[in-house]
Amino acid sequence: MTNKQNKGKVWLVGAGPGDAGLLTLRGREVLEQAESVVYDALVGDGILGWIPEAARQIYVGKRGGSHTKSQDEINEILVEEASRGRRVVRLKGGDPFVFGRGSEEAEVLRAHGIPFEVVPGVTSAVAVPAYCGIPVTHRGIAPSFHVITGHRKNGEPAQMDYSSMVKEGGTLIFLMGVTSAEHICQELIKGGMDKNTPAALLEKGTTAGQKKAVSTVEHLWEEGKRQGIRPPAIIVVGGVCGLADTCSWLEEKPLFGEKILVTRPKRRSHGMAARLREAGAEVVELPAAEPRLIQKEEERAALKQAVLESSRYGWAVFTSPSGVELFFEFMKEERIDIRALGSLRFAVIGEGTRKSLEAYGFYADYMPGRYYAEDLGAGLADFIAKEKAQGSTASETVLLLRARKASKALTEKLKEAGIDFEERVLYDTETADVSPQAERVKNLLSKKAFSFVTFTSASTVEGFLNMLNPSEEEKEGFTAVCIGEQTRQAAEAAGMRTVVSAIPSMDSMAERMEELCRH
């Protein structure tokens, strides 16, 4: 097959320096369409979580002592993947053409007649200083900036004309240079630079591991050593480093420096992740449990009948946003017009469920003050009793639309109050399959990379345990932040250190973490 009939193509995509928010829109778009993703060590963990599940994932960076694939091997993989007709995304840290060898890969692809596109990325040379409060230019301080390799060849630092760099008077940014930092600074001073010129070493910028050592070109190396700065890091030399305090902003955010694992079901995880990123955390998403609409014929028939006879009921009750979404998915699959629900009133457990329902054009008629199953049961029973006392003749029968494994607290309260109810199973919660993302998360857990893991239901705890099977030591590495008491009990029973949010909402969970970080 020639390549013309073959849809095989490669996108050379810059993933930015780490923060998932710095992947470009175009980058995200092509990533979502990828059938094969070939990625490096410096691509952010949050971004790797966005690789489509069905895509082949090929890691070509260094990990835990094993060696990096050679450039020739990487080229071969790209040619091979594209020749099989796949849409290949070659995901690289920063920008693919800034010391990224992207152009070498483009040459090889051209030679093989494989079409490619380039999606530029946010380079660490500019973004890492920016996240550390260092502007690469500043009027009156730096009229230019220069991005230079600090890479050693065979252990020898590159031969460069340091005196001409010094003469330019711009900001000097060295990539891949941590191990040569001492040499670089000495050469700059030899080349005529004032030894008191501000300079900085910036490690793992834009991630939870971001560290900065600011000093003078004379003492930078010692300061870096004192603070234990390690690769990946960049060296910035120039007066602009003097602005590092004035212009710092990320370090002030409440969750700066925290790496958080969010285990919500896939379709629910983005809101939580965005909330935590906003607060300065680095977020990795691992859908640990997936709600799935019931499949069995009899169950679907029972649900359908309840919907078609909805005028028999006074109320329908939803206890999760997933329940709402799956219910309307069911309506669509069965091609039932929503006007069939016209006479029903809706009760929801809390804010998230209420919002999901509004997205379908239904405004909840009842929501309890505290978002717990027993409050919903008792409150709804009260509400119905009051209406009846006022002479209402509306149907009192309540239709519960919930997961198979749902809290008994709700039904107990309804029973106690003598309220008539019927249950229809709407969905099951299944543990997600083991995936490359789960393997990466397992690896991060073993390094104790996460300070917090969030759980929004007992089934996410179960899914997390099934997928990752964490050791006692790995469990000690993080605090489990739980949405409510039931979830907390499940996490504690599994041997995790737990905290519970004040109220069961994502906001409250985020606030709980912010509180813990203040102490």
Site for ligand SAH, residues 66 to 105, rule: CB under 6 A:
92-95, 98-100
Closest contact distance (angstroms) between CB of 92 and ligand SAH is: 6
Q: How far apart are CA 348 and CA 203, in angstroms?
A: 47
Q: How far apart are CA 347 and CA 366, in angstroms?
A: 5
Of 126 and 414, the one with the shorter C-beta distance to ligand SAH is 126
Of 203 and 375, the one with the shorter C-beta distance to ligand SAH is 203
Closest contact distance (angstroms) between CB of 91 and ligand SAH is: 11
Closest contact distance (angstroms) between CB of 159 and ligand SAH is: 19
Strands 479-482, 452-455: pairing is parallel
Which region, judged by CB under 6 A, interacts with ligand SAH, from 81-89, 231-239, 285-293, 430-438? 231-239
Which letter, b or e, does each residue of 266-276 get, where b requires 16 or more Cβ atoms within 10 Å of its Cβ?
bebbebbbebb
Residue 385: which residues within 8 A CB-CB, separation 6 or more? 417
Of 206 and 457, the one with the shorter C-beta distance to ligand SAH is 206
Which region, judged by CB under 6 A, interacts with ligand SAH, from 82-90, 189-197, 232-240, 388-396? 232-240
Q: How far apart are CA 87 and CA 246, in angstroms?
A: 45
Site for ligand SAH, residues 364 to 423, rule: CB under 6 A:
none
Q: How far apart are CA 16 and CA 25, in angstroms?
A: 12
Of 120 and 495, the one with the shorter C-beta distance to ligand SAH is 120
**40 in active site:** yes
Closest contact distance (angstroms) between CB of 368 and ligand SAH is: 45
124 touching ligand SAH, by CB under 6 A: yes
Q: Evaluate whether 58 touches 39 at the Cβ level (below 8 Å).
A: yes
Closest contact distance (angstroms) between CB of 125 and ligand SAH is: 6
Site for ligand SAH, residues 33 to 52, rule: CB under 6 A:
42
Closest contact distance (angstroms) between CB of 501 and ligand SAH is: 31
Of 22 and 276, the one with the shorter C-beta distance to ligand SAH is 22
Q: Residues 419, 420, 426, 431: is their CA dihedral positive or negative? A: positive
Site size with ligand SAH, rule: CB under 6 A: 26
Provide the H-helix boundaries in 13-70. Answer: 25-32, 45-48
Q: Phi and psi (nearest 5°) for 59?
A: -90, 125
Among 36, 57, 75, 123, binds ligand SAH (CB under 6 A): 123
Among 57, 75, 197, 206, binds ligand SAH (CB under 6 A): 206
Site for ligand SAH, residues 13 to 32, rule: CB under 6 A:
17-18
Of 12 and 357, the one with the shorter C-beta distance to ligand SAH is 12
Q: Which residues pair with 422 in a beta bridge?
A: 399
As to burial, measured by CB atoms within 10 angstroms (0-12 exposed, 13-18 middle, 19+ buried), residue 70 is exposed
**413 in active site:** no
Which region, judged by CB under 6 A, interacts with ligand SAH, from 119-127, 324-332, 403-411, 459-467? 119-127
Among 205, 238, 368, 463, binds ligand SAH (CB under 6 A): 205
Which region, judged by CB under 6 A, interacts with ligand SAH, from 61-69, 193-201, 203-211, 473-481? 203-211
Which region, judged by CB under 6 A, interacts with ligand SAH, from 67-75, 201-209, 397-405, 482-490? 201-209
Closest contact distance (angstroms) between CB of 176 and ligand SAH is: 4
3-state helix, strand, coil in the chain (%, to 5): 40, 20, 40
Residue 450: which residues within 8 A CB-CB, separation 6 or more? 259, 260, 261, 284, 444, 477, 478
Of 176 and 483, the one with the shorter C-beta distance to ligand SAH is 176
Of 207 and 486, the one with the shorter C-beta distance to ligand SAH is 207
Site for ligand SAH, residues 126 to 185, rule: CB under 6 A:
128, 175-176
Q: How far apart are CA 37 and CA 78, in angstroms?
A: 9
Q: Which of 69, 165, 176, 193 is catalytic?
A: 176
- Identify the H or E element spanning 506: helix 506-518
Among 114, 199, 213, 234, binds ligand SAH (CB under 6 A): 234
Q: What's the Cα-to-Cα distance from 91 to each of 42, 176, 204, 213, 279, rounded to whole Å?
A: 9, 19, 18, 29, 27
Q: Evaluate whether 172 touches 146 at the Cβ level (below 8 Å).
A: yes
**176 in active site:** yes
Q: Evaluate whether 481 touches 509 at the Cβ level (below 8 Å).
A: yes
Encoded amino acid at 116, one letter: F
Q: Which of 9, 19, 40, 272 is catalytic?
A: 40
Q: How far apart are CA 201 and CA 7, in angstroms?
A: 44
Closest contact distance (angstroms) between CB of 450 and ligand SAH is: 18
Q: Phi and psi (nearest 5°) for 100?
A: -110, 0
Of 234 and 503, the one with the shorter C-beta distance to ligand SAH is 234
Closest contact distance (angstroms) between CB of 102 and ligand SAH is: 8
Closest contact distance (angstroms) between CB of 121 and ligand SAH is: 6
Q: Which phi-psi region, left, alpha or beta, contains residue 59 (left: φ > 0; alpha: ψ -120 to 50)? A: beta
**Annotated catalytic sites, by residue?**
40, 62, 176
Which residues lie near ligand SAH (CB under 6 A)? 17-18, 42, 92-95, 98-100, 123-125, 128, 175-176, 202-207, 231-234
